[in-house]
Amino acid sequence: MTISRLNIRSVRNLSSVSIAPSARINIFSGPNGSGKTSVLEAIHLLGLARSFRTSKVRHLIAAGDPTVTVQGKVDSLAQGVEQTLGVERNLEGQTRVRFAGADIDLASLAELVPLQVIDSATFDLLDGSPSIRRQFIDWGVFHADKAFIQLWRGFRRVLKQRNTLLKCGKIGHQMRAAWDHEFVGFAEQITRLRQEYLQLLTPEFEQIVEKLLPGQSLSLGFSPGWDLKKPLDELLATNFERDLRQGFTSAGPQRADLRVKVDGHTAAERLSRGQKKLAVSALKLAQGALFYRMTGRPCIYLIDDLPSELDATHCQLFCEFVEQMASQCFITCVDSRALSYQWQPNTDVLHYSINDGSVTPL
């Protein structure tokens, strides 16, 4: 997946921007508040119809404008065939997505544009709640197995209904058995897909960690959300009275978690800030590498303020790794000299300067 033309209208302070990005490395530099991250937000909007910085569309749309629009020429299958993709959102919350002249839904858009974001919020993969790490796993499973989205939707429906009955306190034995049967069926399939995906991801992650964090022994572990030594249907029955008092289901894939450890200890407690950035970056880069190996399609990477938290040596290591990837990258920094890494002559690198919402190629 690559973007050969990007047209942005009314994304924060970017009133009207049109660029022809490199298929490899694009670096945007400028002072804080100039609009660097807004370019990344626009690309994220093109790929997922939402920002990675805010859930409120009114904060994304430029003041005084009713709509935000991003359009791109994309080679979605990496086969040299470009088509037009456009996303429009308005202040009323309406969203319209068109690809190759036809309307498409958000699930189709997410499948079409595989995006990876590395920014300050990426630290939450180590420091944040388990739900963030589940989203990370499920991104990979969604792209790896077409059956996952329907399984996930089915499970969410059953979980919501079971929790509603628990909150109301009106769930008899027969009704509980029926919902538990569905719950267990979805749970076991989702858990199997998550485990299979992480088995594939782990060697990719370990190879990248070896390059970005030499000398650190990082490992990935997985908690499915219940003790696999006991059948889930038995566990649901055992926990029923407690679940009834609490009003929610306490065991199942909705409680799953990814464990990142250093020498057997939680990585969030052992790594420095800079090491954490490299560790979470390794997770994202591993996902992209695995996605490319499985599909032949490269991800698009949105990397905000790359030099932040990294010394010159580790920043160079990161750039060296990114250069070896097949992915298209959009990278921001305040001072372009912070990314003065000498790119290889055959690497297509474009530099842009951003000031007050104006984007100028250098």
What are the pLDDT digits (tens) for 152-185? 999 999 999 999 999 988 788 888 899 999 999 9
pLDDT band with cut points at 50, 70 and 90 for residue 215: confident
Q: Is 107 a residue whose pLDDT tops 80?
A: yes
CB 259 within 8 A of CB 221: yes
Asked if residues 353 and 321 have their Cβ atoms less than 8 Å apart, the reply is no
Burial annotation 75-112 (CB, 10 A radius, 16+ → b, else e): bbeeeeebeebebbbbeeeeeebebeeeeeeeeebbeb
State pLDDT tens for residues 232-251.
Answer: 999 999 999 999 999 999 99
Burial class of 303 by CB neighbour count within 10 A (0 to 12, 13 to 18, 19+): buried
Q: Is 100:83 a contact under the CB 8 Å cutoff?
A: yes
* Band (283; pLDDT cuts 50, 70, 90): very high
Does the pLDDT at position 342 exceed 80? no
- Phi, psi (degrees; rounded to nearest 5) at 141: -70, -40
Model confidence at 362, in pLDDT bands (50, 70, 90)?
confident
* Residue 338 CB neighbour total at 10 angstroms: 17
State the Cα–Cα distance between residues 86 and 106, nearest whole angstrom: 12
Residue 202 predicted with pLDDT over 80: yes
pLDDT value of position 130: 96
Strand-strand pairing, 265-266 and 2-11: unpaired
Percent of residues, the chain, with pLDDT higher than 70:
100
Q: pLDDT tens-digit profile of 24-79?
A: 999 999 999 999 999 999 999 999 999 999 989 999 999 889 999 999 999 887 77
Which tokens belong to 188? 């076991």
**Phi and psi, residue 90, nearest 5°:** -125, 175
